[in-house]
Amino acid sequence: MENAILHSTAERVLASRSEARRRRATIYLILFLLVAWSIKVTVIDDTDWERIGSFSSILKEAGRFFAIDFSLFPKLIEPAFETLVIACLGTLLGVVLCLPVIWFGAANITPFKPITYPLARLMMTLSRSIHEIVWALFFVAAVGLGALPGILAIAMRSIGFIAKISAEAIEDIDPKAVEAIQAMGGGKLQVLRYAILPQVLPVIIGVTVFEWEINIRRSAILGLVGAGGLGLVFFRQMNTFNYPGVTSVILAILILILIGEVLSHYSRKSVI
The secondary structure of 230-260 as a DSSP string is HHHHHHHHHHTT-HHHHHHHHHHHHHHHHHH
What pLDDT does 9 receive? 65
User: 149 with 235, same domain?
Assistant: yes
Is residue 20, in this structure, part of any structural domain at all? Answer: yes
Q: pTM value?
A: 0.72
Those residues whose C-beta lies under 8 Å from the C-beta of residue 64, and which sit 6 or more positions away, are 243, 244
Is residue 35, in this structure, part of any structural domain at all? Answer: yes
Cα Rg, the chain, nearest whole Å: 27
What pLDDT does 31 receive? 92
**Which domain range does residue 111 map to?**
67-271
User: 34 with 138, same domain?
Assistant: no
- CA dist., res. 202 & res. 88, Å (int): 19
Instruction: Give residue-wise pLDDT tens across range 113-136.
Output: 888 899 999 998 888 888 888 888
Instruction: Give residue-wise pLDDT tens across range 153-175.
Output: 999 999 988 999 888 888 888 77
What pLDDT does 199 receive? 83
The secondary structure of 137-204 as a DSSP string is HHHHHHH-SSHHHHHHHHHHHHHHHHHHHHHHHHHTS-HHHHHHHHHTT--HHHHIIIIIHHHHHHHH
What pLDDT does 30 receive? 92
What pLDDT does 247 receive? 87
AA identity, residue 74: P
- CA dist., res. 230 & res. 82, Å (int): 8
What pLDDT does 6 receive? 55
Segments of the chain scoring below 50 in pLDDT: none
Task: Tell me how many domains the chain contains.
Answer: 2
User: 40 with 139, same domain?
Assistant: no
User: 15 with 77, same domain?
Assistant: no
- In this structure, the chain runs to a length of 272
Report which DSSP code applies to 41.
I
Those residues whose C-beta lies under 8 Å from the C-beta of residue 65, and which sit 6 or more positions away, are 243, 244, 246, 247
User: 111 with 229, same domain?
Assistant: yes
Is residue 55, in this structure, part of any structural domain at all? Answer: no
What pLDDT does 7 receive? 58
What pLDDT does 92 receive? 92
- CA dist., res. 204 & res. 17, Å (int): 47
CATH number at residue 118: 1.10.3720.10
